[in-house]
Amino acid sequence: MTSPDTRTLRLLTANIQAGSSTRRYSDYVTRSWSHALPAGRKRSSLDAIAQLASGHDIVGLQEADPGSLRSGFTNQTHYLAERAGFNYWSHQPNRRMGGVASSANGLLSRLEPVEVQDHALPGRIGGRGVLLAKFGDGPHGLAVAVAHLSLGTNSRMAQLAFIAELLSDHPNAVLMGDFNCVADRPEMQALYRHTRLQPPGCVVPTFPSWRPERAIDHILVSDGLTIQRTEAVAAAFSDHLAVGMDLQVPTSALR
């Protein structure tokens, strides 16, 4: 039950695979054209993702195309914000492959952030970043970070150390995204040691979406915030399931 001093926020994180459709491992080969061309069901997939997002207050996106050939030069974060009725949106283009394809982190919000920061992440191969939005004034305001981490362990270790430093002074923090690793991996310990972020209370497998076996998409929250519900939900035909969470936040952290 929500007290008068708290507010329940509905959160969602989703790797949307730029609206492409992947329903089995063979699609990575047989439908590889969909990662470079605008054909296929990308628009209908985006509309389905918008429908899912519309029931939430803050949404973190990974692999949202910011406008290239494969998306028909549509900024997918902006498109989803308009279709789902979000007044506030931000995006962080990270990786460009000529004019053919591009990838970004995105944030959709019904709350107005007081500040949005764009940080490049370290790694052996460039093109990863973390998008940080701050809500409420003062050191106890809510900080929400969206990230898409690398596949390689060493790069992830450097990236998580960077994020830990970024969030170390935020007692009310949320980190969401595609971590490309389970929450108890050794490299994740930097987060738990140097921030107030906690390991997830339950394991929610998200990958691959057609037979979820690995919990690699997470919403991590500080120890002073109360999780009411966590679940995996289909994000159209992406190869990842999305993760939804109902989170109880002190109202003082939002004003």
Q: Which pLDDT score is estimated for 204?
A: 96
Q: Is the distance from CB of 77 to CB of 109 less than 8 angstroms?
A: no
From 66-70, 123-127, 151-155, 244-248, the region with the lowest mean pLDDT: 66-70
What DSSP assignment string belongs to 107-170?
A: EEESSPPSEEEEEEPP-SS---EEEEEEESSSTTSEEEEEEE--SSHHHHHHHHHHHHHHHTT-
Provide the pLDDT confidence category of residue 3 given band limits of 50, 70 and 90: low
Digit-coded pLDDT (tens) for 4-36: 799 999 999 999 998 776 654 444 444 443 444
For the cut 60, the answer to whether the pLDDT of residue 95 exceeds it is: yes
Q: Which CATH architecture has domain 6-254?
A: 4-Layer Sandwich (3.60)
* pLDDT for res 32: 42
- Give the span between the Cα atoms of 13 and 175, in whole angstroms: 10
Over residues 150-190, the pLDDT tens digits come to 999 999 999 999 999 999 999 999 999 999 999 999 999 99
